Structure 1
């Protein structure tokens, strides 16, 4: 059985689409997924990347593209009333349910749906309270869970940074990284044992010289 770690941030529409599409793409493959919330903004900042919503024209395109992909894939996706937004309350709430820095599929999906279905404000006080009520059975009664969630978020993001992750969704398996919704077919090919992943095209990608000073 393959062990896949999915790094995600609820602010990303592509992470939501990949989360929903992954079981279909990997149908027939023996695997288990570990979901690790990270702070996307920290990864982008590390690489000096404004992200797709940091460029006005690309921001509008991203919303159009993600919404179109959703209807093509049969996955509900309505852009929240305000985007981007500060995802920290959602990331920390997710990790309050955790015992090891990962979140289960129910918690992960519940929060993704909270953000990407209905076109509402993802972090309004009233909706955050409703979301917490939805997850109440998953939340431990101890106040320490709040501080522990902050530590796990920092740890997850640092680990993602160490792996060289520059965005989400990203999938780590057998020491290899696959980035983006469109990498899912590639991930399946890798898990299916394709010999291409032992070829020079894969192995030598890091050795290609840049032609820019």
Structure 2
């Protein structure tokens, strides 16, 4: 392993995962690392880890909405909040799991941007088809189907993850290390730089 590898656990229903995803390309260049995009079933991950959704705690839900808007402004990214439970991400996660390498990255970046920028009506049943067609992604990807995201969920649990975005840093000289949340990407970056010294 010539450079650090980071497992990026995410679900398209997570706005914090979206904001984290917008930073990955520049992160890879700046810190000379490679990200592996690993879709997971967030509701299952939270349930099996004993975590609860922010929307179940009123003050936490209100804070999270303000916090997301602050982060989007800070990162200069478009953002439109979607009511939790408005769409089922599993069909998209099945496609993501079936793709590999650059194709998976391209698909995930495109999906995240379309979903959370507000460019697609996520209440409609055809949102996934609309995103693929409007983004010039291969239409045959709609036929892809994989349950890899369920296996990734089990793997994430084993690493100690309890939500997303979660990052697991792999380096040649240390045990894998878990980092949780968009707000820990700076700490993750420091760990990547230290690992190369």
TM range, normalised to the smaller chain? 0.7 to 0.9
- The C-alpha deviation readout for 1:28-72, integer Å capped at 9, x for no partner, is 321111100101111110122222122223222212210121012
Query: How far did residue 26 of structure 1 move?
Result: 5.4
Partner of 1:156: 152
Partner of 2:166: 170
Partner of 1:46: 48
Aligned match for 1:65, one of 64, 67, 82: 67
Whether contact under 8 Å (1:172, 1:178) holds in the other structure is yes
Q: 1:27 to 1:176 in 2, by over 3 A?
A: same
Which moved further from structure 2: 34-43 or 48-57? 48-57
Q: 1:57 to 1:120 in 2, by over 3 A?
A: farther
Instruction: Report the TM-score when normalising by structure 2.
Output: 0.82
**Which stretches in structure 1 are left out of the alignment for 5+ residues?**
195-213
Partner of 1:33: 35
Partner of 1:181: 182
Partner of 2:173: none
**Which stretches in structure 2 are left out of the alignment for 5+ residues?**
171-175
- The C-alpha deviation readout for 1:154-175, integer Å capped at 9, x for no partner, is 1111111111111111111121
Highest RCO, 1 vs 2 (Cα 8 Å, sep ≥ 6): 2
Which moved further from structure 2: 114-123 or 46-55? 114-123
How large is the RMSD of aligned CA atoms in angstroms? 2.6
